[in-house]
A and B are shown apart, each in its own frame.
Chain A
Amino acid sequence: MKTWHWISLGVLTVISLIVEFTMLADYDSHWWNAVPAFYIIWGFLSCVVIIYVSKWLGKLFIFRSEQYYDR
C-alpha cells in the first residue's frame, strides 16, 4: 500500500461523511440512521468480528489435520 492509496481512501471517507451530514441529514428509514457514520462502524466491526469469531470457532472444534478423512 502506497501513501496515495491511503490518501484516496481517506478522501473517499471524508466525502462520504460530508454527504452523509449534508444531503442525508434528514434521512430516516431505519433506527441506525440516527447513529452518525454508522456504516463505518458496522463495516469495521463486522470485519473484525468475522475474522475473530471464525478463527475462534476454527480452533474450538472445526480445524482438523488435512489427512483427517484419509485415516
Chain B
Amino acid sequence: MIVDFLLIPAVIVIIGGFILPLLPQNLRSSAFLVFPLIALATLWQLPDGYTLTLPFGSYELVPIYVDSLSKIFGTIFAMIAVIGGIYAFHIKDLGQQSSALVYAGGALGVTFAGDYFTLYIFWELMAVSSAYLIWARRTKETDETGLRYLLVHIFGGGLLLGGILWHTSETGSILIESLPDVYSFSSVLILLGVAVNSAIPPLHAWLADAYPKATVTGAVFMSAFTTKSAVYVLIRIFPGWDILIWLGVAMALYGVVYAVLANDIRQILAYHIISQVGYMVAGVGIGTEMALNGTTAHAFSHILYKSLLFMGAGAVIYSTGKSKLTELGGFASKMKAVVFLYMIGAFSISGFPLFNGFISKSMVVSSAGEAHLEWVMLLLILASVGTFLHTGLKLPYFTWFGESKSKITVKPVPFNMLIAMGFGAFFCTLFGVAPGLLYQYLPYPVDYEPYTVYHLVEMTQILVFTFIGFWILRKKLEGDAKLALDTDWFYRRPASFVRKVFVDNVDRTFGVADDAILSTTRFLTGKFKNPMVWLNPFTDQSNEASRYSPGMEVVMSFIMFSFLILSLFYLL
C-alpha cells in the first residue's frame, strides 16, 4: 500500500529533492537526472484510469489519477526536468538543485491530482520551490523580485483555496471535474487562482518580472512548469468557457506588443510565453475536441522549444554576463553552436514547417476556424507573426548578428549546456517531422493533418513577408534602454507608500510605546530601590542590602512574616 504511494511520479521526484542533500556533491548532478527518469518510467507503467485514494477527514483524497491527458503532460514535465537537469549539470548549488526537483515534482503532482486538495498542496509547493530559483542569484534586486513572485503566487493560491473551499461546501465533492460555464463565486475564484499561474493579463506581470531575473538554469525550469501546469488545470476544469477564447487572444497579442518594448533577452522570451499560452487559453475556451487536442499538443511543443530558447538566452548570459539587447551584438561567430540550436527553437516557436510549433499551433488556429471564430483565427495568426518577428528575428539579430554595442568577452559555454540544447532541438525537430508520434497520445482521437498544401502556402507567405517587413523596419526594433511599465506597477509603485503606512508607522508606534514603558520602569525601579531614602533624607543614598542596619532588617523581616501569615489565613 505505502509502496503504491511512493511510486506516484510526483512523490518520486520530490523525495529526490530531499535525498539530494544526503549525497556527495559530485554525485548530485547525476542523481538529479535519475529521479525524473524513474518518474517517467513509472508513469508510463500506469494504465489509463489508474487511481489511488487516501482517507482525509470525511473526504477521500485522490493523489493520483491517470488518463491520456495527465499522462502526456506528466511525460513532458518529466522530460523537461531531465533536459533542464543536463543543462544545469555543472551547477554546484545544492539549493537550486533540490528546489528544482521539488518544483518539477510539484508540477507532476498538479498534473496527476485527482482532487482539489492534492492539487492545492502541489500548487503551493511549486510556488515556494520555484521562488528559490530567483533568490539563488543572491542580489538585492533578485531578493526583491523573488519575494514579489512568491507574494503574487501566494495571493493566487489563496484565491484558488477560497474557490476550492467554496466549491466543496456547495457540492460536497472535492474531485476535480470540469465545471459548467456558469459564473458562481466558487468557479470565478478558482478561475482567478488558475489565471494567476497561467499569466492571463492583468494577472500576468509576475512572469515578465521574475523570469528574466531567475538564475540561468532556473529560468529553464520556470519557463516549463508554472504556466503549463496551469494550462493543464484549465483544460481539466474550464473547457469550453467562452471568456477564455477572448482572454487567450488578448494574451497572445499583449505578449507580442510587450515583446517589442522589452530590452532584456529573457524578458522578450518571457512575454512570448504569455503570447504562446494565449493560444492554449483560447484553445481551452473553444473547447472542441480538436481545440483541446491542439492545446495539449501546443503545451507539449511549447515546453520543448521555449526551454530551448531559454537555454540559448541563458548561454548568452552565462558567457557574456550581459542580457540586454542594447549591450549585445556581433559575436555570433564565437558561439555558433548556441546560435544554431537557438534558431531551431526560434523556427519551432514561429511555426516553420518541419518543426514542432507548426504541428501544434496550426491545430489550435485551425480549431478556431472550424468553430467559425474567424477573427480569433486572424488575430492568432497576427500574434504568430509577432512571435517570428521577435523570437525568430529581433532577438537573434540584435543579440548575435547586429553591430556590437559594447565590449563583449565571450566565455566558453559548458558542454553539458550544449548537450541539453541538443536534446531540446532534437525533440523540436522530431515531433515536427513526425507529428504522429505526438498525436497518438493526445486525449482525443486526432483527425488532423498539419502538412496540407494550404497550410504550407499560408506559412510560407506569412513567414517570408514577416521577414521582409522586419528587414525594412529593423532599425525600429533596436532595443530601447528603458523599462516598460506593466501591471506590476499596481503593486510595485505603491510599495513605498504601503511600507510607510503598514510597516514603518506601525514600527514607530511600537517604538514609542516601548520607550515609554521602559523609561517608566526605569524611573519606578530607581525610586523603589531604596524606600529608606524617602523616609530618612539623611540615610546612605547608595543602597546596598548588606549595609542595612540590623534594626531595619528586623522591621522588614517582621513585615514579610506578617504578610506571609496573613496570606496563609486568607488562603485557608
Task: Name A's B-contacting residues (CB within 8 A).
Answer: 1, 9, 12-13, 15-17, 19-20, 23-24, 27, 29-32, 37, 39-40, 42-44, 46-55, 57-58, 61-66, 68-69
Mark contacts of B135-175 with chain A using CB atoms, 8 A cut-off: 1 yes-contact digit, 0 otherwise.
00000000000000000000000000000000000000000
Interface string of B250-267 (1 = CB under 8 A from A): 000000111011000000
Q: How many A-B residue pairs have CB under 8 A?
A: 130
Q: A11 CA to B571 CA in the complex, in Å?
A: 108
- Contact of B532 with A by CB under 8 A: no
- A9, B460: Cα distance in complex, Å: 9
User: Across the two chains, which residue of chain B brings its CB closest to A44?
Assistant: B465
Q: A50-B385, A55-B260 are in contact. Are A43 and B481 (CB under 8 A)?
A: no
A55 to B458, CA, bound (A): 27
In the complex, per-residue mask of B427-470: 1 if CB is within 8 Å of any chain A CB, else 0: 00000000000000000000000000110111011111111111
Q: Which of B37-45, B471-479, B542-550 is found at the contact surface with chain A?
A: B471-479
Closest B residue to A23 by beta carbon equals B453
> What residues on A are CB-neighbors of B457 within 8 Å?
16, 19-20, 24, 39
Complex Cα spacing A13 to B374, Å: 25
In the complex, what residues of B have CB within 8 A of residue A1's CB? 471
CB of A44 within 8 A of CB of B468, answer yes
Distance to closest chain A CB from B264 (angstroms): 10
Q: Is the interface of B mostly helix, strand, loop or mixed?
A: helix
Evaluate contact between B369 and A44: CB separation under 8 angstroms: no
Residue of B with least CB distance to A70: B141
A62 and B485 CA atoms in complex are apart in Å by 5
A9 contacts which of B464, B483, B485 (Cβ < 8 Å)?
Answer: B464
A50 and B374 contacting across the interface, CB-CB below 8 Å: no
Assess whether A47 is in contact with B389, with CB atoms less than 8 Å apart: yes
Q: Which residues of A contact B239 (CB under 8 A)?
A: none
In the complex formed, the residue of B with least CB distance to A54 is B260
B260 and A63 contact, CB distance less than 8 A = no
Looking at the assembled complex, report how far the CB atom of B530 sits from the nearest CB atom of chain A, in whole angstroms.
57
B206 smallest CB distance to A (angstroms): 14
Question: Which chain A residue has the least Cβ–Cβ distance from B259?
Answer: A54
A47 neighbours in B (Cβ, 8 Å): 385, 389, 465-466, 469-470, 473
Shortest beta-carbon distance, B443 to chain A, in Å? 25
- Nearest-CB residue, chain B, relative to A27: B454
Across the interface, which residues of A come within 8 angstroms of B374, CB to CB? 30-32
The answer to whether the Cβ of B19 comes within 8 Å of any Cβ in the partner chain is no
Q: How many Å from the CB of A19 to the closest CB on chain B? A: 5
Contact B260 A12 (CB under 8 A): no
Q: How far is the CA of A34 from the CA of B239 in the complex (A)?
A: 33
6 smallest A-B Cβ distances: which pairs?
A47-B469, A54-B260, A43-B462, A39-B461, A46-B385, A43-B465
**Chain B 273-314 interface residues, beta-carbon cutoff 8 Å to A:** none
Give the complex CA separation of A49 and B461 in angstroms: 17
Is B461 touching A40 in the complex (CB atoms < 8 A)?
Answer: yes
Whether B473 lies near A64 (C-beta < 8 A) is no
